[in-house]
Structure 1
């Protein structure tokens, strides 16, 4: 792990050199968030994970307590801190997304993988997913799976050569190592394998986004 200053009030923890940067990032986010709740990181008001790094953001203008941060980050490699992965979740903490597997690209994805459509659906529904980070659009979560999961090959499918100008809200897609649900209509270049009627984002809700970084997700075939 490398710690890189991002201005006076933030530090970027870079896990690119780890054996599994995604898991290391989620692990760090979980540990640091717990320490925040316990008051061990006074002044830190946000943690923003990406594919392989974590931004630790203090209140603007307050400066960052680097000694406190160093004390906490030293615990990341401790044996007592269990690594976070897509499978270390309990059922009650999992967001279930009912999905109709009727996407425009479903048959093509199956053909590229040299499997049947049913096998694509089974891989997607039998896998434990976790939101690695949020981005692209409000409520859009990038979901990853363990490398040895049934869907690891599925999400290795590349993006489409040409993006669609309008992808319907609720579209369930895979591409470039991730799966996702489009929270609203937008352009997009991912492979569409289905759709859900579940709303993923509503600015009128107290918590507008159903998904946040670290959320466990399971897709369930419906219809």
Structure 2
């Protein structure tokens, strides 16, 4: 693995582990991020402000009045060596319901035509794959997940939408994602998930985290509405969707 440490302005360093979307690179990014957090909690790394992980890199922000670039880099060297050889940590497994019907799936038919499959085949392909959460970004709690089956890989839409509804489940290139908030977006919308991905009132506001594993469970429109109402009434806790053994029912 070819690790590069790059300057990112006068108060940050970026550690690059590679130049691809690859689970091995993600494991190294997450391992380094966790090691930095542990060292900082134990009183090390004075001047550290925060870290920002991506698919293949970790940016470390620091206070240049409290530490120097050289001191920080020297402190990170032993952590870098360990992160390059780390095994992927045990993942949390999520089973999230998705409605692939009607207005919840505005691009399903078009996607099916584009790849020469039926709508049912698109749903089976998308929901039959376990996805790895590579990173959160773009919006709070927005998970970039891979790897999409080859048959579903399409470029982004030629004309992005001004408004994509919250909960929309989308695909583009080799990734799939869920929009936590209403926002503009140029991905293909295949369905909608009723589970909120971000809640500022929780200790960990984002439901998903890098390294998590996600499967989608198709539900009909009536069940989607029932789940939406039950979640809004707080009858279903976020932990309901965790499945340590990879299997979980959507019905509370």
Please state which band the TM-score falls in when normalised by the shorter chain. 0.7 to 0.9
Contact 2:157 2:187 in 1 (8 A): yes
**1:54 equivalent in alignment to 2:54:** no
Aligned residues: 208
Deviations 1:142-180 (A, max 9, x none): 1122xxxxx332552111111111111111100122111
Q: How does 1:40-189 map to 2 (within 5 A)?
A: 42-43=45-46, 44=48, 46-58=50-62, 61-63=65-67, 65-78=72-85, 81-82=86-87, 84=88, 89-90=90-91, 93-102=92-101, 103-145=105-147, 151-189=148-186
Distance in 2 between the 1:181 and 1:75 partners?
33
Q: CA deviation at 1:181?
A: 0.8
Contact 1:138 1:209 in 2 (8 A): yes
Q: CA deviation at 1:56?
A: 2.4
Distance in 2 between the 1:155 and 1:13 partners?
32
Q: Secondary structure at the match of 1:184?
A: coil
TM-score where L is the length of structure 1: 0.81
The 1:8/1:62 distance shift into structure 2, 3 A limit, reads farther
Deviations 1:182-211 (A, max 9, x none): 111111111000001111122233322212
**1:216 equivalent in alignment to 2:220:** no
Asked which structure has the greater CA Rg, the reply is: 2
Q: CA deviation at 1:37?
A: 4.9
Measured on the aligned residues, the alpha-carbon RMSD in Å equals 2.4
Counting helix residues as a fraction of each chain, which structure ranks higher? 2
The 1:109/1:210 distance shift into structure 2, 3 A limit, reads same
The 1:154/1:58 distance shift into structure 2, 3 A limit, reads farther
Q: Secondary structure at the match of 1:200?
A: coil
The 1:35/1:168 distance shift into structure 2, 3 A limit, reads same
Moved more, 195-204 or 24-33: 24-33
TM-score where L is the length of structure 2: 0.72
List runs of 5+ in structure 2 lacking aligned partners.
Answer: 221-252
Moved more, 50-59 or 197-206: 50-59
Contact 1:131 1:216 in 2 (8 A): yes
Distance in 2 between the 1:8 and 1:97 partners?
42
Contact 1:129 1:143 in 2 (8 A): yes
Contact 1:15 1:21 in 2 (8 A): no
Q: Secondary structure at the match of 2:194?
A: coil
Q: CA deviation at 1:32?
A: 1.3
Distance in 1 between the 2:165 and 2:8 partners?
36
List runs of 5+ in structure 1 lacking aligned partners.
Answer: 146-150
